[in-house]
Copies of this chain bind each other. A is one copy, B any other.
């Protein structure tokens, strides 16, 4: 039971975007026990879309396709699939109405070009898209079940989970179980070294590493004769991974570092206030990407020095004497935001994100972060982070969160 991933779009063959859909689908399909042997991308050319589809359908039992379902003239997937099947394209009244309703619900009038998003090859099964305007569809091409989804990643992921996994899960040729352990704090090479020998010690287990900057995810994929045995094997190997990596592992599955630290704060009834300089709001943004009102009070992004004085009460003397990028100012920012906001925990970040602004004493990448908390003195840490501006900012935000987590775990302060 081999599976092919099929990506349609000239934006991919011209390299304008990276095909993250294909790798995401490959990982998901592998995790549920399928063997993905081929991934094909073609441009928006009708003849090539048809030819590649026919070839893939002849060689695989399942084809999972993305792209070409939008409202513009270069969105050709429905027509091409109809041609491959030798059937006409027909407009689906229910889908048309759903698209119209979707536009209405967001207070917009549906444009005529969106109507073609309700066109499908005759006989296709329509797959609803609750998070976008383009429905997907599936067809049988000879013995191959082919699924077509929009290329927008959030829509594709939702459709895959809602419609495709339920339709194909029982066809998977292997019985596998996967656990995904999320880590922050060690580079991939060190994580790999610490886990050396686990695959040999647990036959049937494959470890995979996925760098999702600045985190490393460790995937423990176990194959066995029964679902129970696969799960037990994955659990046993995951325990060994946990033993070796200890606190470097902060969560599992879809956990995110900000969300895990936020949940720890909420569980203790602590409120958090943030003060940022070089990270410019990134830490606040990361924390509020998921609902955060249980614990998140405010974030004072005091980018200019005067802002640190106005909004946080950092003394002008400290700024003049030590500079904004200093342990003194980092501590004053954390304490200032904690006191002004009258919350339990104050966390602050100040540094040189670059690309310019570095000096021999304070190079690009130098960041101080501080946590003011109820259990003792304010803690300040520093590092010179490698990478470009975005990487320095992301490292700094994660490092500050990591110190909050350490304080909550009772490991520091």
Contacts and interface: CB of A to CB of B under 8 A. Distances in A.
A70 interface: yes
A296 B20 CA distance: 33
Nearest to A7: B39
A43 interface: yes
Given A73-B192, A74-B209, A298 B288 contact: no
B304 A298 contact: yes
A280 interface: yes
B288 A285 contact: no
B280 A106 contact: no
A260 to B, nearest CB: 17
B113 A210 contact: no
> What DSSP secondary structure best describes chain A's contact surface?
mixed
A413 to B, nearest CB: 23
Given A281-B288, A288-B303, A19 B17 contact: no
Interface stretch (A30-38, A224-232, A325-333): A30-38
A48 to B, nearest CB: 6
Nearest to A40: B40
A193 B13 contact: no
Interface stretch (A21-29, A87-95, A139-147, A403-411): A21-29
Contacts of A287: 280-281
A357 B288 CA distance: 14
Contacts of A271: 304
Interface string A163-189: 000000000000000000000000111
Contact of A297 (B26, B307, B383): B307
B189 A310 contact: no
A390 B289 contact: yes
Interface residues of A, number: 111
B189 A114 contact: yes
A41 B25 CA distance: 13
Given A18-B18, A209-B16, A280-B285, A298 B301 contact: yes
Contacts of A22: 15, 19, 41
A131 interface: yes
Contacts of A85: none
A287 to B, nearest CB: 7
Contacts of A29: 15
A368 interface: no
Contacts of A39: 12-13, 19, 40-41
A37 B42 CA distance: 6
Interface string A219-248: 100000000000000000000000000000
Contacts of A210: 11, 16-17
A318 interface: no
A46 interface: no
Given A14-B30, A106-B386, A282-B288, 19 more contacts: A11-B208, A15-B29, A18-B20, A18-B23, A19-B39, A71-B189, A73-B192, A111-B193, A280-B288, A280-B299, A281-B285, A288-B301, A291-B355, A293-B304, A297-B304, A298-B302, A307-B341, A311-B311, A311-B341
